[in-house]
Structure formats: structure tokens, C-alpha cells
Structure 1
Amino acid sequence: MAQYGRIIGIDVGTKWVGLARTDLLKTVANPIGTYHVDDVFDALGEQLENENVEKVVVGWPLTPEGEEGRAIKMVKEFLAKLETKFPDVDVAKVDERYTSKEAVRAMVEAGVPKMKRRESDRVNQAAAAIILQKYIELVKANNVRITDRYV
């Protein structure tokens, strides 16, 4: 019997943070929105309070060579705040290489006009959905339970 719940995906940026969430069966990721770094924890708190969130998946910025990139420090600081504000939340990290490019490509394929594609809020939330969808696919491909910690 399937357990109903959601997973939240996060694309951390210097000024903006994109959020996405799964459907209740945890099969599809959909963008929620983009929030200023000062406001994202309020938005996360609302999701955690109003939804049955089983896990939070954060994009882990690796270089093309698979090494930790410059943005790792920023994401580590975000994760430290996340753990302080929501200590009971289970967190996983997923390689986020090329997710912003994938987000722009997906918007082109969906027919989103060029001016709208330049709006960083659209890219951030689409990237969060791609990060989350990657996690879902990794879990399926590796026959791992959602409740397992997968990095």
C-alpha cells in the first residue's frame, strides 16, 4: 500500500531559492515558486506545516568534473539554517549539474517566451523541479526507498 506524502526540492541560489514538490504518490515534481533567501524558510515552514513532507532534497552544486564547486559553501550554510529551523526534517542532496540549463531548455520546449525565460524566478523553480525529479528517478533506478538517505 502506498504511503501518501510529498518531497520538497530546493535549488539554492545567492539571492533566490526555487522550491518544488512532488505529488502525493511521489512520482512527479512540480514547481511551487521562487523565494528570496530571506523569505524561503517561511515558505518551507508553510509547506512542512500544511503538507505531509517526508523529505527535503537540496541541489548539490558540483563542477563538471564532479568536484565540489564554489557554491558548496553557500549550500552548506543554507543546510545549516535548515537543520536549525527544522531539525526533524530528513534531508538528501542531489547533484544539480546542468539543472538550470535543463530548466531553460524545458521552458523553450514548452513554448515559454524568451523574455519570460530570462526571469530568474522561473528558472529557479524549474531547476528545483528538475533536481527533485532526478532524485525520484535515482530512487527508482536504484530500488531505494524514499525514506533511505540517498546522496
Structure 2
Amino acid sequence: MPRILAIDYGQKRTGIAVTDEMQIIASGLTTIPSETAIDFLKDYFAKEKVERILIGEPKQMSGEPSESTAVIEAFVRRFTEVFPDMPVARVDERFTSKMAFQTMISSGLGKKQRQNKGLIDEISATIMLQDYLSARNKF
């Protein structure tokens, strides 16, 4: 069974998470510089079968688009140009960074490790992906 991949795209860094082949568990894959995302994905897709991509959709508390929406929308347009046959699902990413930080605290990571913004992005992508899997499996 192909994997599902989640992308927490940001202006500087992009966190990436992926499912196992059975699409049961989400795991952090890596954090990369955002300008390398398309090349990274080309390489990853050449090695692994991926059935769907989740891309975070940043929203404000009111549900309105956030200030980073334009940057992410530009990435989504570029992604769909380069990978026209890859299904893309947009997922609400509100609170994922806060949840990622809380996860780091709960896991016992020290203050220095919790300052690693790349790790926060990777955990955020993992949370988005696990939430998607959980919602899908409720039915």
C-alpha cells in the first residue's frame, strides 16, 4: 500500500511526515529548507510510492486565512504543476505548533532541544498526518 505524506510548509523550513506502508502510524521524516521542497519530493517519490499529500492550511482562530497563506498557496500551485497526478488534501494546521511544543515537553526534551524549530515543524507535520489518519479511520 502506498504511503501518505504530510507537509508543514513554511517560509524558511518545511516539516515532513509520512505513514508506514499500512497507513496506520504517522512518523516524522525530516525538516528541510523550504526552497528545496520540490527537489526533495521528486527524489522521495522516485524511491517510495505515495498515494496522497497533505498540506497544512494555516488559519486564524476565526477560520480566516492567516498571513502565511499566500506563501503556502504559491507552494501548492507549484506542487500541482510539478506533480499533476498526485492528489493533494489541505488540512487545518491550527494549533499543531503548540501541540508539537507540548509534545516535546511531555517527552522530556530539554530546553535546548525544544528550541529546535525544525523539530517543531517535523512534529507538526506528524500531528497533522496522525489526525488525518484518525479521522479517516473513525468511519
User: TM tier, shorter chain?
Assistant: over 0.9
Residue type of the alignment partner of 1:21: V
TM-score by length of 1: 0.88
Give matches, 1:100-119, under 5 Å: 100-119=97-116
User: Structure 1, residues 73-92: CA drift from partner, whole Å, max 9, x if none?
Assistant: 11100101111111111100
Residue type of the alignment partner of 1:47: Y
1:121 aligns with 2:118: yes
Partner residue in 2 for 1:37: 34
Q: Give the C-alpha shift of residue 51 in structure 1.
A: 1.0
Partner residue in 1 for 2:58: 61
Cα distance in 2 between the residues matched to 1:76 and 1:38: 14
1:74 to 53, 66, 71: 71
User: Structure 1, residues 39-75: CA drift from partner, whole Å, max 9, x if none?
Assistant: 1112211221111100000110011122221211111
Task: Could you tell me which runs of 5 or more consecutive residues in structure 2 were left unpaired when the two chains were aligned.
Answer: none
Cα distance in 1 between the residues matched to 2:109 and 2:42: 30
1:11 aligns with 2:4: no
CA RMSD of aligned residues (A): 1.0
The alignment covers a number of residue pairs equal to 139
Residue type of the alignment partner of 1:59: G
Q: Give the C-alpha shift of residue 96 in structure 1.
A: 0.3
Q: State the SS of the aligned residue for 1:39.
A: helix
Cα distance in 1 between the residues matched to 2:68 and 2:121: 15
Q: Give the C-alpha shift of residue 23 in structure 1.
A: 0.7
Quick check: 1:83–1:89 contact (8 Å CA) kept in 2? yes
Cα distance in 1 between the residues matched to 2:53 and 2:123: 16
Partner residue in 2 for 1:85: 82
Q: State the SS of the aligned residue for 1:124.
A: helix
> Which structure 1 residue ranges, 4+ long, deviate > 3 Å from structure 2?
none
Task: Could you tell me which runs of 5 or more consecutive residues in structure 1 were left unpaired when the two chains were aligned.
Answer: 144-151
TM-score by length of 2: 0.95
